[in-house]
Chains A and B, each alone.
Chain A
Amino acid sequence: MTGNKDQGVTPLKVITIGFILSGILIGIILVSLSLGPARISLIDVLTWATGYRSVDQTAWMILFKIRLPRILLAGLVGFTLSIGGVVFQALLRNPLADPFILGVSSGAAVGAIIGIVFGLGFSLGVPLLSFMGALFTILLVMGISSRHGGLESSTLLLTGVIVNAFFTAVIMFFIATTSDSRLHSMLFWLYGDLSQTRYVQLSISLPLILIVSCIIYVFSRHLNLIVGGEESAIQMGVEVELLKWVSFLGISLITGIVISFSGIIGFVGLIVPHLMRMVLGPDHRLLIPASALGGASFLIAADTVARIILSPSELPVGVITAFLGAPFFIYLLKARGSQWTQS
């Protein structure tokens, strides 16, 4: 037998597609670097690098202290949320699942808003409280849902929805009782905002995200089986409870970390996995790396648009992803809805 499809997903295929998507990602990063209110072209950068012309200090600052960290964080957030979406859609066997479905985002939001109310800084203070909020929510939801050491998916989902609703009320309370400039900060955080990025945030989150992603990738075969039902996965040799604990906890952790820096950026974790699945098929050994790289590209592009569309003022990137995401998702539901419900 010949042809790629007959062999399923091979390491060669994963590497090839990984290279293509990495190329696209690098291209988008370079384009995004050269776009912004201050006109700096890539050729400028190249001429500095070769020592052909002396370095323009202001332009250098803009590129490497302002634009680059922001681009890298956007990439990291897109990477993480897209992996989270893929894994949660598989574990919960629910195409509408995203990494926020267990309530992580609202927990993080409550933390962040408390931080803003107390006037903490955006580089570390607010993210720290936000991450603690996310962590607390994960442990709460998983604690409520675990019975005899097992996690039941539908209980988990319901608990997530309820905890989400409760924290949303808390957020509303803070918004209703705040009136000064802090209100603006809160709203920007809630819609996802990458303008406060610092390198220190990257150095904290990057190692953890890479470690968790590698662990998740080892379980990519397991995810293929769990899509067909937990019992059948157990029967074929998957340690389902272990898989669920590791995945739910790992994904929620890295999701909590990135949104504590970026705020809540919706739709990325929902749309990117679907797009990739439509193009590349449902095998998680390919889907996970493809979604991670695709998600990074997507969010960098969206954030670039958010930076320049109303220049010199900016939009929260979450507004852009929602603008793009909601119509696309409705299209998906209309065109492909039947495919998800089918056995």
Chain B
Amino acid sequence: MDSELILKGVYFSYDSQWCLEGIDFELKKGETVGMIGPNGSGKSTLLKIMDGILKIQKGEILLRNKPISSYRRGDIARQIAMVPQEATFRFPFSVFEVVLMGRFPHLGLFPFEGKEDLEIAHQSMRLTGTLDLARRSIHELSGGEKQRVLIARALTQRAQIILLDEPTSFLDIRHKVEIFELISSLTQAQGLSVIIVSHDISLAAQYCHRMLLLNRGSVYKTGEPDEVITADNISTVYQCPVLVDKNPISNTPRITVLSKKGEGKKEMV
């Protein structure tokens, strides 16, 4: 299978301490990878490095077999789209205007979108179910709607790689599932490669082909959900005892957090 993105021995630091140490990783075409790990383990930093926003001190990042440092910003934006955890729009742009912004890296000096750009934006909105929101102001949307609009914007960018930074962290369970369903249907339909950072380990395991478990700036384990999400791995990395069993429907690993309080409650009942 083709590799979209390869990281070889990547080191990065903001100041004196290594924030990421010796990261090796490969994103293959068409796969969805779930990136998990405790707060401060370097997930968001790693995502920004993969997007070429942060410059690494050691190692190598290859985007389609060429060093990412050899690309210009606009070239990277045509290959990689990022969906942030949250986005602020200081002024009341309409949903359609926001989605259309995804065409930015495809336009030249003439600052207006053409017919094709509008068509692509409409298509992205159809795929994400945001067409009804087109005229609304981005400020009026709920968390789940806004997240879908951001995904529509990423699709409008027509990049083959989509990086999502905790897209579900502010959403309720129904909207979490909706986002994961949407991403998995998009990857299948469009052959996109996706990396999704998430704290919803069990949910990510249901939808991702592979998992990447980060611990203190290093890759602790990578592989299929079954190999990565074990009671041992999760308990050690998150420093929190968990029980891992199988989701009875999807047969993917499912975690249950064990706590003394929880046990106490059971005894009381």
Contacts and interface: CB of A to CB of B under 8 A. Distances in A.
B89 A238 contact: no
A220 B111 contact: yes
A231 B105 contact: no
A5 B137 CA distance: 11
Contacts of B73: 234, 237-239
Given A8-B113, A231-B53, A235-B53, A340 B90 contact: yes
Contact of A229 (B72, B88, B96, B107): B88
A283 B96 contact: no
A282 B111 contact: no
Nearest to A14: B112
Contacts of A220: 111
A282 B84 CA distance: 22
Contact of B97 (A229, A237, A283, A342): A283
A10 B134 contact: no
Contacts of A225: 101, 104
A236 B101 contact: yes
B104 A238 contact: yes
Contacts of B89: 227-228, 343
Given A6-B134, A225-B101, A234-B53, A11 B90 contact: no
B102 interface: yes
Interface in B104-122: 104-105, 107, 109, 111-113, 118, 122
Interface in B33-51: 48, 51
Interface in B145-198: 157
B90 A237 contact: no
Contact of A9 (B87, B112, B139): B112
Contacts of A95: 90
A7 interface: yes
Nearest to B139: A342
Contacts of B14: none
Given A227-B89, A229-B88, A277-B91, A218 B111 contact: yes
Interface footprint category on A? 35 or more
A57 B112 CA distance: 50
Contacts of A235: 51, 53, 77, 81-82
Contacts of B113: 8
B258 to A, nearest CB: 37
Nearest to A13: B112
B101 A343 contact: no
Contact of B87 (A11, A217, A218, A228): A228
B129 interface: no
Interface string A208-222: 000000000110110
A285 B90 contact: no
14 contacts: A6-B96, A6-B135, A217-B111, A218-B111, A225-B101, A227-B90, A228-B87, A232-B84, A236-B104, A282-B92, A283-B97, A339-B139, A342-B139, A343-B89
Given A237-B74, A281-B97, A282-B92, 20 more contacts: A5-B94, A6-B135, A7-B118, A8-B100, A9-B97, A9-B112, A218-B111, A221-B107, A221-B111, A224-B101, A228-B88, A228-B89, A232-B84, A232-B87, A237-B73, A281-B92, A281-B94, A282-B93, A285-B111, A342-B139
Interface of B: 48, 51, 53, 72-74, 76-78, 81-82, 84, 86-94, 96-97, 100-102, 104-105, 107, 109, 111-113, 118, 122, 134-135, 139, 157
User: Can you list the 9 inter-chain pairs with the closest CB atoms, starting with the nearest?
Assistant: A237-B77, A282-B91, A237-B105, A237-B74, A343-B88, A221-B111, A235-B82, A8-B97, A237-B73
